[in-house]
Amino acid sequence: MKYYAAYAVLCTVCLYAHFFTVFYLAAHGLYVLLFWRKQLLYLLSAAGAALLAFTPWLIEMLRAASAGGQSRRYLFLKLPQAYFSLMFGDSLIPLDEQAVQRAGQVLLAHWPILAGALFAAAVLAAHLWPRLRRREAPLLFALNLGVTPAIFAFLVSFRIMVFDERHLLSSSPFLYLLAATAALGVAQTEACLKRRSWKTGAGYLALAAYGALILLSLYKYYFDPRFGKKQWREAVAYMDSRSTGRETAMVVFEPDYLHFCYDYYTKAPLEQLRVTPGLMAQLETNPRLLLDGLHGRQTVWLVRSHFYGERVLQLLQHEFDEVERRFFPKAKGIDVRRFKRRAPPDAVRRP
């Protein structure tokens, strides 16, 4: 009872930390149902207590989900992409917004990397399979938490889009444990046979391919401008250094959640206008809504990344002159533009 009471408390904390916890709780329940059925009532009681404690925030989550959630575009690409990213990194085969629109061409252009990754994964899985067939509990538990939450989230996303590779980071330690066990299986196969067979040779080749791909992924992450950490520190420092007339300046964030990065790095914050999905929908019928929010502002910064389209930019260009632009290219890029309010056409400059 003490263990399950502690489990209930920790589950509550995890649920409040991130909603994706619910899929891991479901994976726990599935594992107990299949392999530890006598404990099922205790687990359900603890999980039920955690969900009950989570109810106040759950109501808010359901209300937010009813508004539509994220886009469901490219859903079938997301599951294999997530596992490829967790095992080999994001930088080997680009599958960003630009690349997924021509996914077939991108995969074909990177076929040697894709073939090496599939070869390494298949051979290591083959060396892991005998231990899974023996139903070794630690491996089954790791496999369950490495795979089941992703499948549950993927299925739910057909209704409400919640699936994203970053949410599966909690599964990655279990995937790495499986990979490490498979690597041990290569050496153990050779030790059992007391000689090197084609199976162990394929295993060592797979490990070499896996290591080479990881090194290539790291190299691209640090040295290829398309990948790596977004340049928020540099972008915000650039804005801070060029912001004058702060009392009549404002920064527009498209989409709205970019303000968190700005707030973290800025040393001289400006007033903000955040383009939420709701505001974006209203702009289709009432475009003045955005411009009215900028009334009296002489300088406007537009900060975009993962943006919704060109509508906001077009509205700003209607009443403001774009005086400078800088693009910070790493990862999906940050587009920073500065505008000055255009003088009225009937304004006459007198000597």
Q: Using alpha carbons only, what angle is made at residue 98 by residues 95 and 104, rounded to the nearest 5 degrees?
A: 60
Q: Judge whether 346 lies within some domain.
A: no
Q: Do 193 and 85 lie in a common domain?
A: yes
Print pLDDT tens along the chain (351 aa): 899 999 999 999 999 998 889 999 999 999 999 999 999 999 999 999 999 999 888 777 777 666 554 555 677 888 888 899 899 988 888 776 667 677 788 888 889 999 999 999 999 999 999 889 999 999 999 999 999 999 999 998 888 778 888 888 999 999 999 999 999 888 777 666 666 677 888 889 999 999 999 999 999 888 887 777 789 999 999 999 988 777 789 999 999 999 999 999 999 899 999 998 888 888 888 888 888 888 888 899 999 987 778 889 999 998 899 999 999 988 778 999 999 988 766 544 544
Query: Which residue, among 179, 135, 335, has the nearest Cα to 254 in the 3D structure?
Result: 335
Q: How many domains does the chain have?
A: 3
* Under 8 Å between Cβ of 22 and 61: no
Domain final residue, candidates 201, 228, 255: 228
Q: What pLDDT shows up at residue 237?
A: 95
For residues 161 and 295, membership in a common domain is answered with: no
Give the pLDDT score at 67.
55
Residues 30 and 1 in one domain: yes
The CATH number linked to 322 is 3.40.190
Residues 276 and 161 in one domain: no
Q: Which of 39, 67, 95 is the last residue of a domain?
A: 67
Are 305 and 244 contained in the same domain?
A: yes
Phi first, then psi: what are they for 341, rounded to 5°? Answer: -65, 135
Quick one: pLDDT at residue 351? Answer: 46
Calculate the CA 142 to chain-centre distance.
22
What range does the domain containing 182 cover? 70-228
Q: What is the pLDDT of residue 45?
A: 94
In a domain, 349, yes or no: no
Q: What is the pLDDT of residues 31-43, one digit of tens each?
A: 999 999 999 999 9
Whole-angstrom Cα distance, residue 241 to residue 267? 10
Question: What pLDDT, in 10s, does the model give residues 65-118?
Answer: 665 545 556 778 888 888 998 999 888 887 766 676 777 888 888 899 999 999
> Is residue 281 a part of any domain in this protein?
yes
- Kindly report whether the peptide bond that precedes residue 255 is cis, defined as omega within 30 degrees of 0: yes
Identify whether 153 is part of a domain. yes
The reported pLDDT for the residue numbered 60 is 77
**Assigned domain for 351 exists:** no
